[in-house]
Structure 1
């Protein structure tokens, strides 16, 4: 009887192991799917471009040329500065609508000031539909050109992020520092991932950039010269990401384009690690 009991126990143990293995094989595709949903990576190509209202270093206003530059690098998101909307100097052309059509991207304009019979400001272009765009004023001299940040809400592969374009003060370091502090207050908070790009008019070692680096990951790890376009000798254009530890820099480059604008465009490829299948708030 003792040996029969041993055989019975061994048989039950074998069946239990076999059943557990079979159950694991049935569940493992679901588990893998859940892991992919809750821990995935989004890779984005982001371009920052000050287009000088379409005027190149040859003195010609040519939106076709600018659109070709943008199209050539197949960006997911583009932050554009110095944009004209229906101004006399540009023949009353809606530059955002024109660039959006020519690049097959969605486009939104962020008005900064009234200018020359129309408007002047910045824009966002995106492969993905732009749900909304808000304009926030930054500290500045009310007598001169006011500075803004245009913030777009965009849904990318079930993840909602904010993509911002800005153009900081060109001559006063004290105003750039105040503007950087305000950008931190407005955007570097909460759990929603944020990308900000634009013409910061600041050198990498400046106090304004140090203020931003306290909250953001700058997508260029060394100085990458973007201005002046014909013979660049300093970096004024940047892409930065928040939260800093959620992003990885894949690569970054300054495009070899000396004519289409007085700035060269900055292209970065970055990755966002998402940890939830639900949308960030």
Structure 2
């Protein structure tokens, strides 16, 4: 009888611990780094790395990332950022550019797997049709739970943005019930139809809708951190980091509590 009671107690305790750890709070940054240069085209990739190291967030979604491009000193920018921050990194190429590649990046405090470069619609350039990257990966937390982390950069014209929003929703549905965090420069204000479309599946984490562009005297919000609505328990905090001037955009930070 004593052994049975002990077993019941242990099982009950384990269930209690599991219930207490059901939700997970993660800190996330979204940042368009302007090919690792400030608004005056002075290279700043090392400063971006030091800034991210200082904040010690769990996940970072980056847009306008160069890899071995002439304009940014033939630097593998994601490798530099990974070395400075000690985080896991992934790069997704939009297209070849200036002797290298131009695209998106992910940084994660957790191991990354199933890294995907899904292709979304882009406007034709000089008659040449191009697609862009929707970069995402599975981040595995220390207890084995998984999330899909993604970043994207939308077009400037509204018809293309609408197509891109539809495609993003379709691609990110593939992971079923696990939480999805989407970051990006969406080139659209919060009342834009493309943003409203994304909110069919995602919730904005920055309720105050702080302006993120341009870097000085920002007058519009075009950068976002979103979480799959069914997995967002609460937002612990969100703010535009308006003291960081390493790009022509300002970085956006959110702390989100996920439910699994």
Residue equivalent to 1:123 = 105
Measure how far apart 1:245 and its partner are. 4.8
Distance 1:133 1:188 in 2: 15
The 5 Å alignment of 1:1-281 reads 24=5, 27-37=8-18, 40-143=22-125, 146-156=131-141, 157-169=143-155, 171-188=156-173, 190-274=176-260
Distance 1:265 1:130 in 2: 22
The count of aligned residue pairs is 254
Supply the RMSD in Å over aligned alpha carbons: 1.9
Long gaps (5+) in structure 2: none
Alpha-carbon contact 1:216-1:240 (below 8 Å) kept: yes
Distance 1:245 1:126, change over 3 A: closer
Measure how far apart 1:258 and its partner are. 4.7
Distance 2:74 2:40 in 1: 21
Distance 2:47 2:40 in 1: 12
Measure how far apart 1:146 and its partner are. 3.3
Measure how far apart 1:213 and its partner are. 0.7
* Regions of 4+ moved over 3 Å: 22-26, 243-247
CA radius of gyration, larger in: 1
> TM-score, normalized by length of structure 2?
0.91
Distance 1:246 1:50 in 2: 24
Distance 1:89 1:76 in 2: 29
Measure how far apart 1:23 and its partner are. 5.8
> TM-score, normalized by length of structure 1?
0.85
Q: Secondary structure at the match of 2:121?
A: coil
Distance 1:28 1:273 in 2: 26
Distance 1:158 1:224, change over 3 A: same
Distance 1:134 1:142 in 2: 23
Distance 2:212 2:134 in 1: 20
Measure how far apart 1:210 and its partner are. 0.6
